[in-house]
A and B are shown apart, each in its own frame.
Chain A
Amino acid sequence: MSEGYLNQVSRFLWRWLTTTNHKDIGLLYILTSIYFFLVAGVLGMLIRTQLAKPGSSVLIGNEYNEAVTMHGLFMLLWFVSPLAFGLANYIVPLQIGARDLAFPRLNALSYWLYLASGLIALASFFAPGGTASTGWTLYAPLTSEIYSPGKGLDLVGLAVILFSASVTLGTINFLVTIVKMRAPGMTWARLPMFSWTIVFTVLLMLWAFPTLIAAVFLLFLDRNFGTRFYDSPLGGSYLWAHLFWFFGHPEVYILLFPALGIIADVISTFSRRQLFAKHIIVLGLSLGTALSFLVWVHHMFITGIALEIRKIQSFTTAIISVPFEMTVIAMILTLWRGRIWYTTPMLFALGAIFNFIIGGATGVALSSVPLDIAFRGTYWVVGHFHYIVAGVITFGLMAGLYYWFPKITGRMYNETLGKIHFAIAFFSMHPLYLSWFLLMDMPRRIYDYAPEWATFNLISTIGAFIFGASFILPLINFTYSLWRGPRAPDNPWNAYTLEWLTKSPPPRHNFEGEVMIAGDGRVLFLATNGGYHHVHVEHRTLTPFGIGLGALLVGLGLIYSPTLFTIFNLNVTLLSLAGILTVAVSLLAWAWGDLRDRFVIPEPKTVEDWPLSGVDKVRSGVWVFLVGDMFLFGTLIGTWLFVRTRSLVWEPGYLSHDLAIGLVNTFILFTATYFYLLGYIFIRRGSTAGFIMNMVLATALAIAFLLVKVVEWSHLVSIGYTLNTGLQAQLYYTLTGVHGLHVLFGALATVYIVAKALRGGYTRESHKGVVEIGLYWGMVEMVWVFLFPMFYLL
């Protein structure tokens, strides 16, 4: 192997492993999500092959269940949202006139965690006993050790947690970017629909994903530490259903919104008209966002849930269709009298609207309690959501890929091949999915069936193979066009939005000059004495990749390395330890870089940042993070409330915790925060010595809190009160444990502050980060305010 070749490879790896540029990360997201689309697609084909005729034996029994489960999870978690995130990464900063996302390193970390999570999910296929086979909803008690004994489900659970963490970081980034970094004149009214829908998507993610993290974390404890949150006879399966669907239904809109944004932008561009009643669409989507959290119980109508709740959620489910009907009507009215240009993205957008009408109407039927009960677990439901996920969302995302391909690559794709792709995909998806409505009496998730369902199943399978094969065309089209396609002009579609006013592909700094939108809507590029891009700071760092790699090793270590020791049912392996070490070293490197101010990015001086004017982007980001954290703890505390309500007297094994210890720790924690705040007012006064002294006291008290907790736990374990003693014990250890971890992170963050202060990093004028970590301490304290009475008084 020549040295030149090795140099090329190492340069290539360095370029992609260390990038933090939003366009690079966007491309990584897009390519990775397409890979997982192929994985999920192959699983879908296998399922359809099995169902082509009764009595097949391609995938039987648990193999079939595994394929169904992972097809759903890969499509929903590792394909749809990441592809939307990929496009958003690339396009949103361009659409709003920003240089990058607000937190580029965090953006890179989001991607590497996403990739690690996907690979862990993929590795679960090779776990002894196979992968998860419970269906994508991971219903309890199917997830218990009895029904899912292998380690595959644990890997999937870990993958879901990592994916959710990646999403949460992305949420912070996109929300702060769109709110805080819009170019002057890019008012909310002028924000393109795609960027609008990303705002709504990340708001949904902010409130939905922490619930999923908490729910899957409890599942992980159930399977590896012997707790019984979900197989408890005290409503364990209900608890899972509530937590999962509180995430699960907003997830539908998380998947849908970006596609709707793309469809709206594409329709506007290729109709040569401004979007009709854009403000109505925005209003509709905001209503949809709010209502999406009030409809999850329609997934639980057959659980014997209280009639009053069923009535309420039946009503809200019917109502939630209204905002989407408004959106569809506005899109159709945009077409009215428009000069329509039937390009490939336009065809996909029109196809998506058509499919939305079918998918939407069949979904509204499910808001009715009697109909929902009748259709529950049948192919009607499967048909409904496939029309939405494949017919609307995937079509919308395909429209986006074709639409922005010239911008991203600087090349035009082959239009004829694109239209052939659309025609085959559109006309094959109806035999594939429409036949499922005609199989409305066939149960889902079965690998064999009665002969009377054979005809429609065969039609569906034929449709599936044509539909699946159609996606080879864009792969060929894009790959060929990337090398041989004609050069794309900057604005091949004569589109209105900002991304089309820069070069194709855009330069690293996105725009030549500073973007400003004049009062009449004209876009100006202001020269700033050498160009604003000279102050566009772009960093390269290996730390996000290191954290992702470490997470991957931890996951793979669950099954692939000789076991060093076992904690409860969890095997700790060399590979897992190596992973934990890699994460720790990467985090230290991250902190070390920060300590030396290597990654300081100057905030643009003039931006449209209402409604967060006056709040810098780091503080905005911390608030967004805290809201997610509140939901995480809210879910865990809610679990306590749920169990406690069900069991007014704790089960045998109940132990009243030592009040004195609880009270001492309460005092310690309150005082730690108090000293932290004293430090803050000292630095505002310019007293570094006072600042450091108070911060050291705060850290010492935080450590004292943890030590008291260790002593308390040790004593409890020594008298036989362990995680397996009962519901009360498992809630106690879980909640105080998660809170303790938060205290530990707070202590580490305060140590970082002390280290930085000792290096002269804080002055009276500049003490960035102190307020933000203080906010975190406030959150930690707020949680304890509830935990103390819950475990020591009630």
Chain B
Amino acid sequence: MEGFRASLAIYTFTWIALVGGAVLEVVFILNGIARWPELFVLGVSGFQVTLILLFYMHLRDEPLSIKAMPFITLLLLIALLASAITSVLACTPYVAG
């Protein structure tokens, strides 16, 4: 665990990055700079979540088993969402399940 100054620096830089990320999203989307807005937003959100996990929630200091938890959760969510979305794109709506 870092000392007071180091922790302060880490938290402050993370906070700046998080707020900056949100502003960046707004600027890029409103000005049409982001060519694929959905992907761009997903990328920025992913970056922000990584910062929060690593530096605010101190995932980097946790054992591998805890590091694995959000990762496995993410994989399972991807499996669920990928199947659900692909299926709804492929079928006629309102067929009873």
**Does B33 sit at the interface, judged by CB under 8 A?**
no
Question: Considering the chains assembled together, what is the distance between the CA atoms of A722 and B12 in angstroms?
Answer: 38
Which residues of B sit under 8 angstroms from A620, Cβ to Cβ? 66
Which residues of B sit under 8 angstroms from A667, Cβ to Cβ? 19, 22
Q: Which of A141, A243, A645 contacts B85 (CB 8 A)?
A: A645
Which residues of A sit under 8 angstroms from B77, Cβ to Cβ? 630-631, 634, 638
Which residues of B sit under 8 angstroms from A591, Cβ to Cβ? none
Known: A294-B79, A642-B88, A793-B25. A304 touches B41 (CB 8 A): no
**Does A789 sit at the interface, judged by CB under 8 A?**
yes
Select from chain A the residue with minimum beta-carbon distance to B80.
A246
Which residues of B sit under 8 angstroms from A630, Cβ to Cβ? 70, 73, 77
Are A674 and B11 neighbours in the complex by a CB distance under 8 Å? yes
Q: Which of A141, A294, A623, A670 contacts B69 (CB 8 A)?
A: A623
Contact with B along A273-314 (1 / 0, CB 8 A): 000000000000000000001100100100111101100010
Select from chain A the residue with minimum beta-carbon distance to B5.
A681
**Does A501 sit at the interface, judged by CB under 8 A?**
no
**Does A484 sit at the interface, judged by CB under 8 A?**
no
Q: Which of B53, B63, B84 contacts A778 (CB 8 A)?
A: B53
Are A670 and B38 neighbours in the complex by a CB distance under 8 Å? no
Give residues of chain A (598-656) contacting chain B, Cβ–Cβ below 8 Å.
611-615, 620, 623-624, 626-627, 630-631, 634-635, 638, 641-642, 645-646
**Does A533 sit at the interface, judged by CB under 8 A?**
no
**Does A483 sit at the interface, judged by CB under 8 A?**
no
Which residues of A sit under 8 angstroms from B37, Cβ to Cβ? 793-794
Are B52 and A785 neighbours in the complex by a CB distance under 8 Å? yes
Which residues of B sit under 8 angstroms from A469, Cβ to Cβ? none
Q: Which of B56, B84, B94 contacts A242 (CB 8 A)?
A: B84
Are B93 and A234 neighbours in the complex by a CB distance under 8 Å? yes
Are B97 and A627 neighbours in the complex by a CB distance under 8 Å? no
Are A681 and B45 neighbours in the complex by a CB distance under 8 Å? no
Interface SS, B side: helix
Are A775 and B8 neighbours in the complex by a CB distance under 8 Å? no
Contact with B along A758-791 (1 / 0, CB 8 A): 0000000000000100110111011001101100
Known: A785-B52, A793-B29. A623 touches B93 (CB 8 A): no
Select from chain B the residue with minimum beta-carbon distance to A207.
B76
**Does A395 sit at the interface, judged by CB under 8 A?**
no
Are A305 and B63 neighbours in the complex by a CB distance under 8 Å? no
Contact with A along B11-29 (1 / 0, CB 8 A): 1100100110011011001
Select from chain B the residue with minimum beta-carbon distance to A310.
B87
Question: Considering the chains assembled together, what is the distance between the CA atoms of A684 and B37 in angstroms?
Answer: 42
Q: Which of B1, B12, B64, B93 contacts A235 (CB 8 A)?
A: B93
Are A623 and B66 neighbours in the complex by a CB distance under 8 Å? yes
Are B83 and A670 neighbours in the complex by a CB distance under 8 Å? no
Q: Which of B8, B18, B41, B95 contacts A670 (CB 8 A)?
A: B18
Known: A309-B86, A684-B4, A685-B4. A240 touches B22 (CB 8 A): no
**Does A706 sit at the interface, judged by CB under 8 A?**
no
| Count of interface residues, chain A, beta-carbon cutoff 8 Å | 75
Question: Considering the chains assembled together, what is the distance between the CA atoms of A423 and B32 in angstroms?
Answer: 74
From residue B82, how far is it (CB to closest CB) to chain A in Å? 9
Which residues of B sit under 8 angstroms from A233, Cβ to Cβ? 93-94
Select from chain B the residue with minimum beta-carbon distance to A245.
B97
Question: Considering the chains assembled together, what is the distance between the CA atoms of A141 and B15 in angstroms?
Answer: 45
Question: Considering the chains assembled together, what is the distance between the CA atoms of A313 and B82 in angstroms?
Answer: 13
Select from chain B the residue with minimum beta-carbon distance to A306.
B90
Are A241 and B81 neighbours in the complex by a CB distance under 8 Å? no
Question: Considering the chains assembled together, what is the distance between the CA atoms of A678 and B62 in angstroms?
Answer: 20
Are B48 and A785 neighbours in the complex by a CB distance under 8 Å? yes
Which residues of A sit under 8 angstroms from B72, Cβ to Cβ? 207
Which residues of A sit under 8 angstroms from B69, Cβ to Cβ? 623-624, 626-627
**Does A563 sit at the interface, judged by CB under 8 A?**
no
From residue B34, how far is it (CB to closest CB) to chain A in Å? 10
Which residues of A sit under 8 angstroms from B58, Cβ to Cβ? 771
Interface residues of A (CB under 8 A from B): 139-141, 179, 207, 211, 233-243, 246, 293-294, 297, 300, 303-306, 308-309, 313, 611-615, 620, 623-624, 626-627, 630-631, 634-635, 638, 641-642, 645-646, 659, 663, 666-667, 670-671, 673-674, 677-678, 681, 684-685, 771, 774-775, 777-779, 781-782, 785-786, 788-789, 793-794
Instruction: Give 4 closest A-B pairs by Cβ, nearest first.
Output: A241-B97, A306-B90, A611-B65, A778-B57
- Besides A293-B80, A670-B18, 4 other A-B contacts (C-beta < 8 A): A634-B80, A646-B93, A789-B44, A793-B26
Interface residues of B (CB under 8 A from A): 1, 4, 7-8, 11-12, 15, 18-19, 22-23, 25-26, 29-30, 37-38, 41, 44-45, 48-49, 52-53, 56-58, 62-66, 69-70, 72-73, 76-77, 79-81, 83-97
A-B contact pairs, 8 of them (CB 8 A): A238-B87, A239-B88, A293-B76, A303-B95, A304-B95, A313-B83, A626-B69, A793-B25
